């Protein structure tokens, strides 16, 4: 079981079959990659269920989430309790001291901890998804695994990549690692600005640029660095809009000596290592988003039934009913995404990179809308803190905290705008490869050689949408064709042996048909862009929003497909899963229609012109009559390498009763010697 969950090293992407997202954007959606084994898709192995039960019990009885929010810190005893449960090593193979449980179980654990308090899930995810565990499992040597992975059972790790001048562009990195052949070591210098877990980490994965030299071309490289090594200083603990309790800090590295044996992979492979770790790491945010949505359903149900206005419960008013329906249907879709992708990622035979990126994009965007709608549904109480409500004698429901906490999902781990651009670039390259009829690894077999899929199938109402005409959203992209035996009509997607009238989920066939024909529509749009743009992407800068809409449509189609597959897997005598899937798909189809319509009729060109005038100062008169309370300083601070100028704020987690000797406690500081 563990060998499949955490392969060593990971199966190369080119050797795995394409994920659902790949085929979707090439106009060939097949639900096979979304289908799991027979039986209840929610059921886990007994050992996993027992672990989750212990974790739930711990969260409910031992964690005071309100105290974490007030203190902006997770107590040491809570962190130690998570360690005792094995929560820092859920997927780590047993031979290294971990629990050896599945990706599926890991994501369920994040859902439990994030709804207890999101700082807990961030601590666990930053350690296991992008911290030391995943990079070493995928790229570490046997010696490195034996040396470091057992430590990850109780020691916390962090991934130090971001710098003040780096957003989604890691090639602006300034941290350097200079090789010293005399000592067979590297000397690291630089400043990492936002390092999650950096304040409490025992081990760091540091990304640094090795200058080209006699040893090779150099490039971005990953290193294992001891957090208490001479020259490592936590300069400050950062504070944010939400995620109170997050141990995120600025880490300075000054002449930090790292043995060559602590380099992960070869010189120049750092970016590939980071991206590979993110492949499964990106599923963390969809899981957390799904958990937030599921909690929102609970609060929306209880509150809108208890609150009476004008003689009726709140939810019985039509304007409110739409919000409750949206929250419930979207929560089901987000759970479906997490469940189907987690099982496929755990199998290890499918390239789920694009699937995970789409899921992250869709889930983080929808979680924000859900949180905003829940605040609106709660009214003034939604804007009030839970602590204030308790002081007034009412139930403390941290809805405003939810809004603050989920907002970061649209930024963390690749902003939504960056993900749309990255996905569009990969998809255009896929269409170019398909047009050339070349073997391209993970794209192989998703389109016929020499064909630009979907271009010839974009007819009827799809053409009307491209022209910006008003259309029936339910008919967008409709392409009539006879159904083959065993298919849901017009989809090319197997309907299953029990697809028949009278079933609770029979109506889902129409939604899968919509997915198939709209998939061909967006494939045609991408093929046209691929043919018109230059080989290096010339001409695409001015079409980012156009391509972003196509990506958003694909994300909706993915969520629709996952919802239908998941609803059928759940079954249910009362048909409730199919009802939620149908509701979500109907809502998604309206959003798809709007995005497709805006492909042909939009304000993109005019917006670029206005933006140019804003930057040129043409509208500075509009800024008059207000007070700017910003604190003066540079927009981007210059992070110059050099020795630390103050004490280290590193916090060391200790079991209760441990003597405070070798290292500083949470309230102590120590000055590093340069």
- Comparing 226-230, 238-242, 573-577, which segment has the lowest mean pLDDT? 573-577
Torsion of CA 667, 668, 671, 672, to 10 degrees: -80
- Comparing 183-197, 340-354, 455-469, 570-584, which segment has the lowest mean pLDDT? 455-469
d(CA 162, CA 160): 6
Bridge partners (DSSP) of residue 190 are 253
pLDDT band per the 50, 70, 90 thresholds, residue 538: low
**Torsion sign over Cα 6, 8, 9, 13:** negative
pLDDT exceeds cutoff 90 at 514: yes
d(CA 178, CA 576): 60
Q: Which residues of 386-403 are buried (b: 16+ CB within 10 A; e: fewer)?
A: beebeeeeeeebbbbbbb
- Report the pLDDT averaged over residues 653-664: 55
What is the percent of the chain where pLDDT is above 70?
83
Q: How many CA atoms lie within 13 A of 465 on its CB side?
A: 28
Q: What does each C-alpha distance from 491 to 146, 510, 596 come to in angstroms?
A: 50, 9, 19
- Give the closest residue to 336 by CA, choosing from 633, 81, 581: 581
The confidence score (pLDDT) of residue 537 equals 61
d(CA 179, CA 347): 39
Q: Is 271 helix (H, G, I), strand (E, B) or coil?
A: helix
Estimate to the nearest angstrom the gap between the alpha carbon of 171 and the chain centroid.
21
The confidence score (pLDDT) of residue 455 equals 35
What is the per-residue pLDDT across 39-67, written as a single tens digit (0 to 9) for each? 788 889 999 999 999 999 999 999 999 99
pLDDT band per the 50, 70, 90 thresholds, residue 506: confident
Contact between 288 and 337 (Cβ < 8 Å): no
d(CA 203, CA 652): 12
pLDDT band per the 50, 70, 90 thresholds, residue 434: confident
- Report the pLDDT averaged over residues 492-517: 68
Estimate to the nearest angstrom the gap between the alpha carbon of 4 and the chain centroid.
22
What is the per-residue pLDDT across 260-309, written as a single tens digit (0 to 9) for each? 999 999 999 998 888 887 766 788 999 999 999 999 999 999 999 999 88
**C-beta contacts of 56-62 below 8 A and 24+ residues apart:** 56/112, 58/82, 58/85, 59/112, 59/113, 59/116, 59/120, 60/116
CB atoms within 10 A of CB 617: 9
What is the per-residue pLDDT across 381-431, written as a single tens digit (0 to 9) for each? 999 999 999 999 999 999 999 999 999 999 988 899 999 999 999 999 888
Q: pLDDT: is 488 or 350 the higher one? A: 350
Q: What does each C-alpha distance from 122 to 22, 361, 413, 470 come to in angstroms?
A: 29, 18, 12, 44
The confidence score (pLDDT) of residue 639 equals 78
pTM, rounded to two decimals: 0.85
- Give the closest residue to 224 by CA, choosing from 300, 350, 131: 131
pLDDT exceeds cutoff 70 at 546: yes
Residue 633: partners with Cβ closer than 8 Å, 6 or more residues away: none
d(CA 589, CA 528): 23
- Report the pLDDT averaged over residues 463-487: 37
Contact between 570 and 40 (Cβ < 8 Å): yes
Contact between 128 and 138 (Cβ < 8 Å): no
pLDDT band per the 50, 70, 90 thresholds, residue 504: low
- Report the pLDDT averaged over residues 193-213: 94
Q: Which residues of 68-106 are buried (b: 16+ CB within 10 A; e: fewer)?
A: bbeeebbbbebbbbbbebbbbbbbbbeebbbbbbbbbbb
d(CA 168, CA 413): 9
Contact between 131 and 157 (Cβ < 8 Å): yes
Q: Is 287 helix (H, G, I), strand (E, B) or coil?
A: helix
pLDDT exceeds cutoff 80 at 213: no
pLDDT band per the 50, 70, 90 thresholds, residue 8: very low
**Torsion sign over Cα 214, 220, 224, 227:** positive
Q: How many CA atoms lie within 13 A of 336 on its CB side?
A: 31
d(CA 489, CA 86): 49
- Give the closest residue to 9 by CA, choosing from 271, 259, 348: 348
The confidence score (pLDDT) of residue 456 equals 34
pLDDT band per the 50, 70, 90 thresholds, residue 234: very high
d(CA 384, CA 88): 34
Q: How many CA atoms lie within 13 A of 212 on its CB side?
A: 1
The confidence score (pLDDT) of residue 181 equals 93
What is the per-residue pLDDT across 593-636, written as a single tens digit (0 to 9) for each? 999 999 999 999 999 999 999 999 999 999 999 999 999 999 88
Q: pLDDT: is 273 or 349 the higher one? A: 273
Q: Is 472 helix (H, G, I), strand (E, B) or coil?
A: coil
pLDDT band per the 50, 70, 90 thresholds, residue 445: very low
> What is the β-pairing status of strands 248-259 and 232-237?
antiparallel
d(CA 462, CA 578): 27
Range from 333-337, 442-446, 507-511 that averages highest in pLDDT: 333-337
pLDDT band per the 50, 70, 90 thresholds, residue 667: very low
Bridge partners (DSSP) of residue 31 are none
Range from 13-17, 120-124, 347-351, 353-357 that averages highest in pLDDT: 120-124
d(CA 352, CA 242): 30
The confidence score (pLDDT) of residue 638 equals 82
Tokens 């002449």 -> residue: 255
- Give the closest residue to 356 by CA, choosing from 22, 6, 26, 108: 22
The confidence score (pLDDT) of residue 214 equals 66
Q: What does each C-alpha distance from 645 to 133, 642, 671 come to in angstroms?
A: 32, 9, 9
Estimate to the nearest angstrom the gap between the alpha carbon of 500 and the chain centroid.
37
pLDDT band per the 50, 70, 90 thresholds, residue 657: low
pLDDT band per the 50, 70, 90 thresholds, residue 668: very low
d(CA 120, CA 113): 6
The confidence score (pLDDT) of residue 478 equals 37
Helix axis angle, 318-347 relative to 353-378, nearest 10°?
Answer: 160
The confidence score (pLDDT) of residue 432 equals 87
Mean pLDDT rounded to a whole number for the chain: 84
């Amino acid at each position: 079981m563990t060998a499949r969950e955490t392969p060593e090293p990971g199966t190369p992407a080119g050797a795995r079959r394409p994920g659902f997202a790949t085929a979707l954007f090439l106009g060939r959606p097949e639900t096979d990659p979304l289908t799991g084994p027979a039986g209840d898709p929610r059921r886990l192995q007994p050992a996993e269920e027992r672990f989750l039960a212990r974790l739930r019990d711990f969260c409910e009885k031992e964690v005071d989430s309100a105290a974490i929010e007030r203190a902006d810190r997770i107590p040491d005893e809570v962190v130690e309790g998570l360690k005792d449960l094995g929560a820092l090593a859920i997927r780590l193979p047993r031979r290294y001291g971990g629990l050896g449980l599945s990706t599926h179980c890991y994501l369920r654990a994040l859902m439990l901890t994030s709804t207890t308090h999101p700082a807990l899930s961030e601590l666990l995810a930053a350690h296991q998804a992008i911290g030391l565990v995943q990079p070493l499992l995928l790229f570490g040597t046997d010696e490195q695994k034996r040396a470091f992975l057992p430590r990850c059972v109780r020691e916390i790790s962090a991934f130090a990549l971001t710098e003040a001048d780096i957003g989604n562009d890691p090639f602006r990195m300034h941290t350097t690692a200079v090789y010293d052949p005399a000592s067979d070591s590297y000397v690291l210098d630089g400043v990492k600005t936002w390092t999650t877990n950096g304040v409490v980490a025992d081990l760091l994965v540091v990304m640094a640029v090795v200058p080209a030299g006699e040893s090779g071309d150099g490039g971005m490289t990953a290193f294992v660095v001891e957090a208490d090594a001479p020259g490592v200083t936590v300069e400050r603990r950062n504070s944010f809009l939400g995620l109170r309790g997050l141990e995120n800090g600025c880490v300075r590295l000054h002449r930090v000596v790292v043995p060559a044996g602590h380099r992960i992979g070869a010189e120049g492979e750092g970016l590939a290592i980071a991206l590979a770790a993110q492949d499964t790491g990106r599923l963390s945010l969809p899981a957390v988003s799904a958990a937030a949505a599921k909690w929102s359903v609970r609060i929306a149900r209880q509150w809108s039934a208890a609150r009476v206005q004008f003689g009726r419960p709140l939810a019985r008013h039509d304007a409110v009913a739409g919000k409750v329906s949206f929250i419930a249907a979207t929560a089901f879709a987000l759970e479906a995404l997490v469940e189907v992708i987690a099982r496929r990622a755990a199998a290890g035979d499918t390239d789920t990179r694009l699937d995970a990126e789409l899921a992250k994009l869709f889930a983080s965007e929808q979680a924000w809308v859900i949180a905003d709608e829940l605040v609106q549904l709660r009214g003034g109480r939604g804007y009030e803190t839970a602590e204030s409500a308790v002081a007034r004698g009412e139930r403390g429901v941290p809805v405003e905290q939810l809004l603050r906490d989920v907002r970061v999902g649209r930024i963390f781990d690749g902003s939504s705008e960056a993900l749309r651009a990255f996905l569009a670039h990969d998809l255009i390259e896929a269409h170019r490869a398909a047009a050339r009829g070349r073997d391209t690894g993970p794209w192989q077999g998703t389109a016929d050689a020499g064909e630009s899929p979907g271009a010839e199938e974009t007819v009827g109402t799809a053409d009307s949408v491209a022209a910006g005409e008003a259309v029936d959203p339910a008919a967008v992209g409709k392409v009539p064709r006879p159904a083959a035996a065993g298919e849901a009509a017009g989809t090319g997607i197997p309907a299953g042996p029990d697809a028949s009238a009278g079933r609770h989920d029979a109506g889902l066939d129409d939604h899968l048909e919509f997915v198939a024909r709209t998939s061909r529509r967006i494939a045609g749009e991408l093929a046209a862009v691929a043919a018109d743009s230059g080989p290096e992407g010339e001409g695409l800068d001015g079409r980012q929003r156009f391509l972003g809409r196509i990506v958003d449509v694909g994300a909706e189609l993915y969520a629709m497909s996952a919802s239908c597959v998941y609803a059928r897997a759940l079954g249910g005598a009362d048909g409730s899963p199919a009802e939620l899937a149908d509701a979500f798909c109907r809502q998604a189809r309206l959003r798809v229609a709007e995005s497709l319509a805006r492909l042909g009729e939009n304000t993109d060109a005019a917006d670029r012109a206005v933006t140019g005038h804003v930057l040129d100062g043409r509208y500075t008169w509009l800024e008059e009559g207000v007070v700017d309370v910003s604190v003066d300083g540079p927009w981007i601070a210059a992070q110059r390498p050099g020795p630390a100028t103050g004490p280290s704020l590193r916090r060391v987690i200790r079991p209760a009763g441990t003597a405070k000797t070798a290292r500083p406690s949470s309230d102590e500081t120590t000055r590093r010697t340069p």
